[in-house]
Chain A
């Protein structure tokens, strides 16, 4: 560990151990940490925006101004203004009616922040034993306070975790993200098993209904039967058997286990 990295790391641990709930203190520390940061000095706002766009595209398929405003807790006007400046910097590309896209450069920044964010979440849950439902906000602050050296050290300390506590993949230092290889449930063959990763689609009541049947992320699903000619499949979920038509089954994404 290099001396300044070690210093940054110990400062972080100090913040985490003694002042986690004191956001104001944290902000002060963050500004100190900023001074030790490496080559690219991105402002926090830029990082937050790029990260939010990436997440929204990851979960919803598109990032619209309205959803960005509610995610970031700012007004639509503020989002529009910031996006305009980000576009000028060549980090994002706005497209009429289809939301915002990240440019390759923007994506690199987003992935770097995401990597810091998700590793910070790991740190909070594993080392400090906090609840995984509580670590997101803290990680939001910490992600801007970590230098690349700190992150490398942290990754080693945590023994190279692949995912964050919520199960999302952590980008590598080279800026690659390994999206878990999920495939639609209807692509599984009979007797194959999978872990349900997510249910995509826009009909909220359908998603709720599937959830009440036990089709929630993390559950193990086994395909029992498959009818020919694109017919329905029968899946076994915790001992209950359901017949699912092709349309429904294609919305359910699973990871082979």
Chain B
């Protein structure tokens, strides 16, 4: 089918002998198998033409290099979100040498549905029957030989977290990928109803094949044509004969629909479910009882009287962990940098560059900039991702989505969007990328707007550093509460403004699992690596730029222009305006810059911010930093995901909100004379 596709090949990303895909339902251990097979070498690449990122890695077996693409987890070939669409299109157009479908042995029937769909596409399939250990504990035994016989594809039992069976899997992959392609005619046919109709259509398709001189389309394509698969219709529409076949399929569709008072996709879904049920029944033996403890725990995790305290408990524990471990790491890093790295850097830069100003500017980037990125990145972002991976892998996040669904619906979203919002507390960039799991553009726009208002770790650092430290923790808490209220009001308002309705929550509730340390660490590392690649260049270059402005005295000029405006609206000193302006680069820079600028304007005594800013001013400053427009990295990811129009709208909205709320709180604080 390769010559039919206009889709670029993914393989250009890595050097390999052949390329295979990992497909399967969500949460069946697909990523665990991927990690085991490819190690730390995996890269992330965008799917051609889409913003969805796929993990691609290389596995070596004997002297073969196998490129493995980890497709997003899906339940079938009928996508409702962009990541699912990518999984489907990759299976249709990427011409993989083999597709490993990872199957959950504890839930064979549901998983087989997708297996049947993929086999019908005519791609060479290998089944990794994963979680056989869990199945055994649950008293379920799957007979892999029986399954192999029925499906006519290799079935390999695996336990991804221990690595059992993976060597066998690799051998099978090589065997399947290197064997000559089989004629689709010999492919397994499943006993679906309407087989005569399908046969009739298949004959027409064969004639089309001969006419268009392509590789043969498998018989399984026909059912998808009758179901009205638009992707497959699109391929066929390109030739006259193909258009006739699509017409024919539509006639069949009308005939069947009239017969059964049902849409064809429901009929075929029911047929596939029926066949999957039969196969699962034949291949599965129940050998014991189920555990009761799991049933009880999953009830209490969603039953409001216990679920809500549990949720708050988990969040308090998570942030407590981040605060203490992150704080400790931050101190350790600061000490290390000041006593070892900084002196060496200064020595090297000053001795190589004769020019004092130039050296200073460079040091802004190398010394100050890198430290800024590290001191937020390592202590807060890294620990945040660690906690997030832990919550994800235990299966707890789904419960949070369930519990918060009613609340999120009031904001025009649904429970699943809580997960990107929580991720936004670490860094807005991956959070916005994570909105891809949401179904409609409206939901993504809503969620992304709310994410830009969610304080990321950098903004939390500013609030803690400026307000909690100098003014008092209760005021820092006040800022977070105001922010929460703003998110609520904006969400509510957007719900009313944006036309349409949320598609609603549809989410599988995964059973609780004991997470594997290796998988958590790897996930954390991949996310952190992506953050580092994104943040470091921006911060370093931005800091050099800033240093240049500062050392050349341009900043002072800007201060004089923006000063009166800043003072009139927000009651902030002129320097604060500059800090806010340059905070576009990275939000945490605002605080560092404020300290630096204070020293410059008011002398060394201003090192303590309270010397030149009143507590009320610090409060307003931190509040504005929390709300005003996102940093460069967030803007660029917003532009990529939602388009520039929406990005500019979000930016203008955020600035207006920030200035508005800032002005109100400044006047309220002055009026109340709280400080």
Contacts and interface: CB of A to CB of B under 8 A. Distances in A.
A131 B193 contact: yes
Contacts, number: 153
Interface stretch (A12-20, A27-35, A206-214): A206-214
A242 B507 contact: yes
A227 interface: yes
A73 B263 CA distance: 17
B204 to A, nearest CB: 19
Nearest to A59: B261
Interface string B401-429: 11101100100001100000000000000
Interface stretch (A81-89, A148-156, A176-184, A244-252): A244-252
A244 B416 CA distance: 11
Contacts of B75: 209, 212-213
B506 A168 contact: no
Given A71-B254, A212-B114, A248 B506 contact: yes
B109 A136 contact: no
A208 B265 contact: yes
Contacts of B79: 205, 209
Given A227-B304, A245-B414, A245-B415, A212 B402 contact: no
B80 interface: yes
A102 interface: no
Contacts of A206: 80, 503
Contacts of A97: none
Interface in A157-189: 166, 168
Contacts of B143: none
Given A133-B194, A136-B260, A211-B266, A238 B505 contact: no
Interface in A182-207: 198-199, 203-207
Contact of B259 (A136, A229, A241, A244): A136
A71 B258 contact: yes
A126 interface: no
Contact of A225 (B262, B302, B502): B302
B76 interface: yes
Interface string A106-149: 00000000000000000000000001010011000000000000
Contacts of A10: none
B423 to A, nearest CB: 19
B224 to A, nearest CB: 11
Given A207-B265, A212-B76, A217-B270, A248 B504 contact: yes
B182 to A, nearest CB: 27
A243 B261 contact: no
Overall SS of chain A's interface: mixed
B270 A231 contact: no
A118 to B, nearest CB: 11
Contacts of A217: 262, 266, 270
B110 A209 contact: no
A209 B78 contact: yes
A70 to B, nearest CB: 5
Interface-centre pick from B254, B302, B406, B506 (highest chain A CB count, 10 A): B506
B145 interface: no
B107 interface: yes
Contacts of B210: none
Interface in B303-342: 303-304
Contacts of B263: 204, 207
B403 A227 contact: yes
Point out which of B194, B254, B258 has the most chain A C-beta atoms below 10 A from its C-beta: B258
Contacts of B113: 212, 214
Contact of A240 (B256, B503, B508): B508
B261 A228 contact: no
A229 B506 CA distance: 18
A230 interface: yes
A209 B270 contact: no
Contacts of B270: 211, 216-218
Contacts of A210: 506
A239 interface: yes
A55 B260 CA distance: 10
Interface string B28-43: 0000000000000000
B157 interface: no
B504 A247 contact: yes
Contact of B273 (A71, A199, A216, A224): A216
Contacts of A245: 405, 409, 414-415, 502, 504-506
B258 A238 contact: no
A79 interface: no
B258 A209 contact: no
Given A207-B265, A212-B269, A239 B110 contact: yes
B266 A207 contact: yes
Nearest to B290: A239
Contact of A205 (B78, B405, B505): B78
Nearest to A240: B110
A234 interface: yes
B146 interface: no
A109 B266 CA distance: 30
A225 B263 CA distance: 30
A219 interface: yes
A241 B110 contact: no
A133 B193 contact: yes
B189 interface: no
A99 interface: no
B402 A232 contact: yes
A7 interface: no
A4 interface: no
Nearest to B140: A239
A23 B473 CA distance: 86
B11 to A, nearest CB: 28
B513 interface: no
A210 B256 CA distance: 21
Nearest to B256: A133
B299 interface: yes
B61 to A, nearest CB: 32
A217 B269 CA distance: 10
A166 B263 CA distance: 13
Given A212-B75, A216-B266, A247 B273 contact: no
Contacts of A234: 302, 402, 509
B377 interface: no
B398 interface: yes
Interface string B372-403: 00000000000000000000000000100111
Given A70-B254, A209-B75, A214-B273, A232 B110 contact: no
A210 B113 CA distance: 12
Contacts of A198: 262
B288 to A, nearest CB: 15
Contact of A211 (B256, B265, B406): B265
Given A219-B273, A232-B402, A247-B502, A241 B265 contact: no
> Which 5 A-B residue pairings sit nearest by Cβ, starting from the closest?
A212-B76, A211-B269, A245-B505, A208-B78, A247-B504
26 contacts: A131-B193, A136-B259, A204-B263, A205-B78, A206-B80, A207-B265, A208-B76, A209-B78, A209-B506, A212-B75, A213-B508, A227-B302, A231-B405, A231-B406, A232-B402, A238-B109, A241-B298, A242-B507, A243-B415, A243-B508, A243-B509, A244-B505, A245-B414, A245-B502, A246-B409, A248-B506
Given A217-B262, A243-B507, A245-B502, 6 more contacts: A71-B258, A133-B259, A166-B262, A204-B265, A209-B80, A214-B113
